[in-house]
Chains A and B, each alone.
Chain A
Amino acid sequence: MTDRPLKQIHLAAHFPGVNNTTVWSDPASGSHIAFDSFRHLARTAERGKFDFFFLAEGLRLRETKGRIHDLDVVGRPESITVLNALAAVTERLGLAATVSATFNEPYELARRFATLDHLSGGRAAWNVVTTSDAFTGENFRRGGYLDHADRYTRAAEFLGLAREFWDAGEAGVRHAGPQFEVEGRLSLARPPQGHPVVIQAGDSDEGREFAAAHADVIFTRHSTLAAGQAFHADVKRRLAAYGREPDALKIMPGATFVLADTDAEAVELAAEVRRAQVSPQTAIDFLEQVWGVDLSDHDPDGPLPAVDPVPASTLVQGRVRHGDPLATAARWREVAAEKGLSSRELVIEVTGRQSFVGAPATVARQIDEFVQHDAADGFILVPHLTPGGLDDFVDRVVPLLQERGVFRTEYTGSTLRDHLGLPVPERRKPAPDSAA
């Protein structure tokens, strides 16, 4: 630690999403669709000299019990279109869109990201995700037939092909692989960044390997310092096999925060925010996700359901169901019994605890510690309010990070690769009839 220079922190801003982290019931909560909200958050991030602004994706409205989930924010714009508009009202901020490699074709998506990179002067990033569920597939020509295992195979070939399109000059691309057989040339010159920055989100073994092979940034789950260090070490270790240096992949966990004048006030405020995030109805919804049965008659202020969960339930669609429901229920019952919690209090206790809670100095110190101790290279911050949720962080925490000498006071480059310290990739000459 002591004999190496301070690591520089990378920061990104995640537009508040469509899960219960986002508090829509607060009087300060604005529109989730009006362009002004996107403009405000992006400009705030740029005022704070952030690396990039991040948009998630959802291609079908979530459902519970066969009906559209109505308890959280519903509805979002098409990401790349919003980012192109944001390029007009920002100058340096990176612009990252999450886009599925399953429900798009390489030629079109390569062209759309090349366009965003050109029109933003080299600020585009693509968070490559895969989807395989037939539920989402019902909105698309392709349907939803991909096996889970094929998802990363398709994503890897898709991304490789996109890179070929970005690199190809007049000669164009000819590609015949297991997933794609295409031939063509983009109507755009090579993007200013060579290739837009590639982000991979996900912590699975396959996801880590994909990131080590292909990504510039990995968007991971925030956890303890020790878990972060283990993840960091594991992912960085994998890079060598692909001939990549440890610095070539930035590890950026998603993190939430609550700020107040003092640590004690922040703890109080954090509890208030969690109550707003878990309404009585949301508490029941959480129980249903684990139990897999209709609990609409269950009293959120009473104890946990007496019945056991149904493991293979399809009650909930379009959302990831984590872990073994029986084990989760057993653990929740233990916590509830130990602390004497009602169903709603239990859900508040076990879900969505904020990553950083405290006075600005405390939060700045914690963030810096994670980075200096190699548990992360930076964070993708997820505010709980639109559009003002990042204001305090930028006004009160960023200056302290700058004082510590671990965060830029001005942008030194113009492209997102410049901000992340990533070189423009070498132009690769694709072999004729390249295969995956």
Chain B
Amino acid sequence: MTRPLHLSAALDSPGRLDAGHYAALARIAERATLDFVTLDDSFAAAPQRPDALATLARIAPLTERIGLVPTVTTTHTEPFHTSIALNTLDWVSEGRAGWLVGVSTTEAEARAFGRRPVAPADELWAEAADAAEVAARLWDSWEDDAEIRDTATGRFVDRDKLHYVDFEGRYFSVRGPSITPRPPQGRPVVAVPVAAADLAPDASAAGRARVATAIRHADVVLLDAPDRAARLTAATELRLRSGEHLRILARLDAALPDRAAEERLLAELTAAGTGVDGFHLVPAEPERDLAALAERTAPALRAAGLLRADYPGRTLREHLGLVRPASRYAAAPAAGATDSRTLAEVTR
């Protein structure tokens, strides 16, 4: 195994409402040169926590390279708002935004909104797929060169490069275009959580719907598998169904109270033949565990040639080796006009 690992970590810190805490954690993760950090969210009353996207926007100016991937749920939210908030996170972080797609399955969350009763999870994931589709269309709805500032004709934009998205689905319809210009990454990175069981022949309807959402919309899958064998099977199946562009990161508990735990984690991270592109590390105590990761695990991985020493790129897509997508509404570019910067990243 010579390909470097893609590593990420969760910043979840129940009970913390202060920005300084999350900024400090993200800076440690940045020292460990992780691709991105995640912050989970829901509309449940517990645990105590701030809005995840807002929190990562709050720390964006205090970090430089690390990707910022909040959970944003699609069940009780407006797809239009979700799209422009993620778009704006990409602007304020200068191309480091991602989206961990989530749904709200509980009765309590449904009651907090009072808009609709709780629905089966497979339906919620089908709706999440529609929300991801709308978000992507809205991100594309402004072509990259829509702003022209042509004083001769008095036009600020070329409106032929702004597009209605005209999405009409089972759950909602959205006309477009976005109010926010195309984000720096073209589209923020979309991540979907998938469990190995979701890919099994006897998977639940909800599991199958989650996989369908991932296949259709994800750039990154955060894979939850009970052991190495299940991980390999699930990753292979995912890759067969979605193609090489997908980055699969296996969820890994990263409680690091002592050197023995650090050794075990390092062994897990360096093991060959797991079928995944990297790992999503979930600390038990974020300050302690991320510090151990940055001070000892990351240097050890670098020594083994499995982790880059710094960030060669600026955007999250570049960290992940993903191309910057062209707008689906743009006329096909002339041959050879592909963005060479991101292509270089991909072919690295």
Contacts and interface: CB of A to CB of B under 8 A. Distances in A.
B314 interface: no
Interface string A66-95: 011011111111101110110111000000
Given A70-B159, A118-B17, A81 B53 contact: yes
26 contacts: A33-B180, A35-B92, A35-B94, A39-B61, A59-B80, A68-B177, A71-B154, A75-B179, A75-B180, A77-B84, A78-B87, A78-B88, A81-B89, A82-B88, A84-B54, A88-B61, A89-B61, A108-B77, A115-B54, A116-B54, A118-B50, A182-B114, A184-B45, A187-B46, A187-B47, A280-B154
Interface stretch (A136-144, A146-154, A230-238, A248-256): A136-144
A84 B84 contact: no
Contact of B176 (A139, A180, A185, A189): A139
Contact of B88 (A74, A77, A184): A77
A88 B60 contact: yes
Contacts of B57: 81-82, 84-85
The bracket for how many chain B residues form the interface is 35 or more
Nearest to B56: A84
Interface string A186-201: 1111000000000000
A80 B53 CA distance: 10
A78 B54 contact: no
B61 A35 contact: yes
A337 B213 CA distance: 65
Contact of B174 (A25, A61, A80, A139): A139
A187 B149 contact: no
B88 A182 contact: no
Given A78-B85, A180-B114, A184-B111, A115 B50 contact: yes
Nearest to B166: A138
A241 interface: no
A71 B19 CA distance: 40
Most buried by B among A70, A180, A188: A70
A87 B179 contact: no
B17 A189 contact: yes
Contacts of B60: 85, 88
A68 B162 contact: yes
Interface string B85-118: 1011101101000000000000011011111000
Contact of A72 (B49, B54, B79, B156): B156
Interface in B37-81: 43-51, 53-55, 57-62, 76-81
Interface string A101-145: 001110110011011101100000000000000000011110000
A279 B177 CA distance: 25
Interface string A141-178: 10000000000000000000000000000001000000
B147 to A, nearest CB: 7
Contact of A107 (B113, B171, B172): B113
Given A108-B77, A184-B111, A184-B112, A61 B180 contact: no
Nearest to A183: B111
B158 interface: yes
A70 B155 contact: yes
A296 interface: no
Given A61-B179, A189-B48, 11 more contacts: A24-B156, A35-B94, A60-B175, A72-B156, A81-B85, A87-B19, A88-B60, A182-B112, A185-B112, A188-B50, A279-B151
B54 A281 contact: no
Contact of A140 (B53, B78, B153, B162): B78
Interface in A218-234: none
A78 B45 contact: no
A34 to B, nearest CB: 7
A58 interface: yes
B244 interface: no
Given A76-B179, A107-B113, A189-B17, A25 B151 contact: yes
A403 interface: no
A181 interface: yes
A315 to B, nearest CB: 16
Contacts of A24: 149, 156
A279 B174 CA distance: 33
Contacts of B23: 88
B79 to A, nearest CB: 8
Contacts of B154: 71, 279-282
A108 B41 CA distance: 12
Contacts of A182: 111-114
Contacts, number: 184
A81 B156 contact: no
Interface in A277-326: 279-282
A184 B76 CA distance: 14
A88 B27 CA distance: 14
Nearest to A79: B88
B151 to A, nearest CB: 5
A73 B50 CA distance: 33
Contacts of A118: 17-19, 50
B229 interface: no
B92 A81 contact: yes
B97 to A, nearest CB: 10
Contacts of B139: none
B111 A58 contact: no
A180 B114 CA distance: 7
A171 to B, nearest CB: 11
Contacts of B172: 140-141
Given A24-B149, A33-B181, A75-B181, A85 B155 contact: no
A70 B156 contact: yes
Contact of A181 (B50, B114, B173): B114
A77 B84 CA distance: 7
Contacts of A139: 80, 174-176
A80 B82 CA distance: 12
B124 to A, nearest CB: 14
Contacts of B62: 88
A24 to B, nearest CB: 5
Nearest to A181: B114
Contacts of A39: 61
